[in-house]
Chains A and B, each alone.
Chain A
Amino acid sequence: MGWDWLPSALDLARFQFAFTVSFHFLFPAFTIGLASFLAVLEGLWLYTGRSHYLDLFRYWLKVFAIAFAMGVVSGVVMSYQFGTNWARFSDQVGNILGPVMAYEVLTAFFLEAGFLGIMLFGLERVGKKLHFLATLLVAVGTLFSSFWILSANSWMQTPAGYSIAADGRFMPADWWAIIFNPSFPYRLAHTVTAAYLTTAFIVGGVAAFHLLRDERNPRTRIMFSMAMWMAAIVAPIQIVIGDFHGLNTLKYQPQKVAAMEGHWERQRGAPLIVLGQPDMATEETRVLFEIPHLSALILTHEWNGETPGLKDVPADQRPTNVPLVFWSFRIMVAIGTLMALLGVVSLWLRWRGRLYTAPLFHRAAVAMGPAGLIAVIAGWITTEAGRQPFTVYNLLRTADSVSPLQAPAVGASLLGFILVYFIVFGAGVLYLFKLFSHSPHDAERGPKDAEPIRTAGITPGPPQLQHHDADPRPQQQRS
């Protein structure tokens, strides 16, 4: 046919899934935290009556509208991708994962989509209290969504509660065991916390950017303070959760941990390889820098504890790309550590009363703005590449999961996804940056009343103050 130069349909399908799911994941990682942040802001506004909170709510609501839309459309792709590219997987596990994912649609997607309209456009129509309820429901919806999709993912990592039918398909035996499979609680806690941190660092980065230009804007100060509390409290907690998650992985997926650590041999008192390069061909890791006994200490909490090695199992059951797992894990841990460090420094500055007047620290916070996004993708790659070559760990191989497709079909669709994602989401992200470049100002206008006034040919006048406690100074900037 002349298509020999293409990679196999399997590799193309894998790359397509990795590409679309990573791209998709960036948006929920941001909007899960943002939805909760918006609920907190609106709650504070209703509780204290301070208009600054409403300004911040409206400022971030515009961001939420765009990020959420991009999350939805890239998510629709995911719900069809299982069938188009992974049809054999779908047939094999549909009895178990199908209902779990359908519950995500029923409990989360409809809830989010249904109340998003009210959240974005309905403040004047339904009043404050009902509007707050809508915001809360959207936030709850994002959490429900995380619950179900991470349950499904965890089941693929640590399958439980199933039986295998005569034709090889997985059948449900115990739904409780399926949903609350062994790695699920840890993965859920780790991922949702990561999403909250991602949002906190984006909010903190945007706030720091504006503090560098004008440190007196009270709205900027509020959001910077909130973000730094999150960094100081949640980042260290995340490290502890991550440790628990790692121990759980050690128990159920020792091969993944061995790849993360770069350990080929089962050994006692294993060193922590800080920097090095695993070599798949020679089956050893060239070590640049290691700390003796630390890996054993972290993983087993014993000086001379025994840790697994990649060579414990035959080569065809080991992760297919050890360096990828090894490095993405290091990136995630490094960023997590930096996040906690930034949080600690923020506490010190806060104590000294210099949180809002420390340009160097603000620059660091700007630089750390996208840190969460990078960390979640690195973590995702660690866990997903680490469980290869299986889709259902130790039970169903990735090679046996793919659809009966020809490489050109998968290649063409992959090209389409790459082009469209870069154009569409590139434009969306550029627009987000433009929103970020405006500082939150007085009587911030929501998406509700911003554009059509201008489109109708009327020169934008001063915004109408909607609340008696709003600051009546003329506004300096308009988004």
Chain B
Amino acid sequence: MEESLPLIWAVIIATAVFLYVCMDGFDLGLGILFPWFQEKEERDVMVNSVAPVWDGNETWLVMGGGGLFAVFPLAYATILPALYMPLILMLLALIFRGVSFEMRFKAETAWGQTWWDRAFSWGSYLATFCQGIALGALVQGIRVENRSYAGGWWDWLTPFSLLTGLALVIGYGLLGACWLIWRSEGDIAAKARRVARVLGFATLGCIALVSMIMPLLQPAFYERWFSMPWMLRAAPVPLLVLLLAWLFFRALPATAAREASAPHDPTGRSFRWRDGVPFLCVLGWFFLSYTGLGISLWPNIVPPDISIWDAAASPSSLLFLLVGASILIPIILCYTGYTYWLFRGKVRIGEGYH
């Protein structure tokens, strides 16, 4: 039991981080798409489509950080100083963005409107870029001596981490566009489809590029991907990415065709799964990339050599929190799901919850 506790917790924390990427990914993505949606009405629809849920989305980030502190304190105490600059910048960007969520609706002057919109959009870009950099820097490895971070404060800045930063901006932008295809209609959805098509190709390109560089970063990664039997186990990952790509590019025009032929829905609340197919495909890409990352890193939580067992808290801490988490997390997922269900359907211009 004691041996498996860190493993259980690694799964829970990894899930929390993935849920964060899924959920805050698309609402950060909306900010990333702002330059393509200049009209105030369009932007209102975009922000309204996430207004009731964004707060909960961001809570998964706190769960990721707080959970790491609780169950892998050594990882928390070494990763966070190592990624000092990108993380602080991310937090500052999230402050701008979070407050402008509320404030952009309250601005009464054109000047205020413009600047809160900028705060929202630039904040989304910077937060996403920093998250991507943090990911890239973590994968490249963190120097730890005597249970403390032993590197410099610019170590995170490498060409690879800049690439992962850019890749995440593109990926979140794509998630945002697919969310819009699902949750809006008319011109906004049409524009989102065009953007999604371009970003879809770009995202696939980024996945391919990062996947090619990854095995070259550390010999262990290369070993993992290009030796038996790991190679066989890992092979489905790239294949599934391609399968989803085929599905994605087929589903995109289909959503347009359906919208043209669908009967008018006066309430706008009918729930159409099939409009969500592109969104779900992209989530699939994220999941597979994430899995690929896990395959490379396993069993380390702080590469190159701190494993989840090295970093884990005491069994008593892990167990104490697990008791609560196993009751509370399902409840949280239920009411989060309920909120999403409650605010389902198409958001229309001039109507919103805000």
Contacts and interface: CB of A to CB of B under 8 A. Distances in A.
Contacts of B352: 451-452
Contacts of B329: 106
Contacts of B73: 90-91, 94-95, 98
B282 to A, nearest CB: 23
A126 interface: yes
Query: Would you call the interface of chain A mostly helix, strand, loop, or mixed?
Result: helix
A420 B96 CA distance: 8
Interface in B315-354: 316-317, 320-321, 324-325, 328-329, 332, 335-336, 339, 342-343, 349-354
Given A91-B73, A91-B147, A99-B321, A121 B59 contact: no
Contacts of A406: 153
Nearest to A175: B320
A455 B350 contact: yes
B69 A125 contact: no
Contacts of A431: 103, 106
A460 interface: no
A103 interface: yes
A94 B84 contact: no
B305 interface: no
Contacts of B353: 117, 120-122, 448
B98 A69 contact: yes
Contacts of A448: 353-354
Contacts of B157: none
A252 B144 CA distance: 37
Contact of B317 (A80, A87, A116, A172): A172
A98 B71 contact: yes
- Indicate the member of A91, A105, A171, A451 with the most B CB atoms within 10 Å: A105
B44 A452 contact: yes
A101 B99 CA distance: 24
Contacts of A116: 55
Contacts of A408: 153
Interface stretch (B86-94, B176-184, B217-225, B247-255): B86-94
B256 interface: no
A313 B199 CA distance: 65
A137 B161 CA distance: 41
B317 A98 contact: yes
B354 A121 contact: yes
Contacts of A90: 69, 73, 76-77, 80
Interface string B14-46: 000000000000000000000000001100100
A271 B314 CA distance: 48
A61 B129 CA distance: 34
B94 A117 contact: no
B238 interface: no
Nearest to A410: B84
B77 A404 contact: no
A70 B98 CA distance: 8
A118 B342 contact: yes
Contacts of B313: 94-95, 98-99
A66 B102 contact: yes
A113 B321 contact: no
Given A74-B95, A455-B350, A122 B52 contact: yes
Nearest to B115: A427
A280 to B, nearest CB: 32
Given A114-B339, A455-B44, A91 B74 contact: yes
A98 B70 contact: yes
By DSSP majority rule, is chain B's interface helix, strand, loop, or mixed? Answer: helix
A405 B84 contact: yes
B41 to A, nearest CB: 7
Interface string A167-186: 00001110100000000000
Interface in B96-146: 96, 98-99, 101-103, 105-106, 119
Nearest to B89: A416
A110 B342 contact: no
B66 A405 contact: no
Contact of B335 (A103, A115, A450): A115
B333 to A, nearest CB: 9
B121 to A, nearest CB: 15
Interface string A67-104: 00110111111011011100110110011111101111
B149 interface: yes
Given A101-B66, A122-B52, A80 B80 contact: yes
A315 interface: no
Given A84-B88, A113-B59, A121-B353, A99 B80 contact: no
Interface residues of A, number: 76
A97 B105 CA distance: 39
Residue of A74, A87, A450 most packed against chain B (CB within 10 A): A87
B270 to A, nearest CB: 15
Interface string A114-156: 1111101110011000000000000000000000000000000
B92 A404 contact: no
A106 B68 CA distance: 13
Contact of B148 (A75, A88, A96, A451): A88
A309 B100 CA distance: 50
A437 interface: no
A420 B95 contact: yes
A106 B324 contact: yes
A334 interface: no
B80 A87 contact: yes
B314 A95 contact: yes
B164 interface: no
A96 B317 contact: yes
A109 B62 contact: yes
Contact of B342 (A83, A122, A450, A458): A122
A452 B95 CA distance: 24
A171 B316 contact: yes
B79 interface: yes
Contact of B84 (A98, A413, A455): A413
B328 A118 contact: no
B48 interface: yes
A79 B99 contact: no
Contacts of B70: 94, 98-99, 101-102
Contacts of A97: 69
Given A72-B98, A95-B314, 17 more contacts: A66-B106, A82-B76, A84-B88, A90-B80, A94-B317, A99-B70, A99-B71, A102-B63, A122-B353, A125-B343, A413-B84, A424-B96, A428-B102, A448-B354, A453-B350, A455-B40, A455-B350
Going nearest first, the 9 A-B pairs with the smallest beta carbon separation are A94-B73, A83-B80, A117-B52, A98-B70, A121-B353, A456-B350, A73-B98, A102-B70, A91-B77
23 contacts: A66-B106, A69-B55, A73-B94, A76-B62, A84-B87, A90-B77, A94-B77, A95-B316, A98-B66, A98-B73, A98-B76, A101-B66, A105-B67, A106-B325, A117-B52, A117-B55, A117-B339, A126-B342, A171-B316, A172-B320, A403-B81, A413-B88, A428-B102
Interface of B: 40-41, 44, 48, 51-53, 55-56, 58-59, 61-63, 65-71, 73-74, 76-81, 84-85, 87-89, 91-92, 94-96, 98-99, 101-103, 105-106, 119, 147-150, 153, 313-314, 316-317, 320-321, 324-325, 328-329, 332, 335-336, 339, 342-343, 349-354
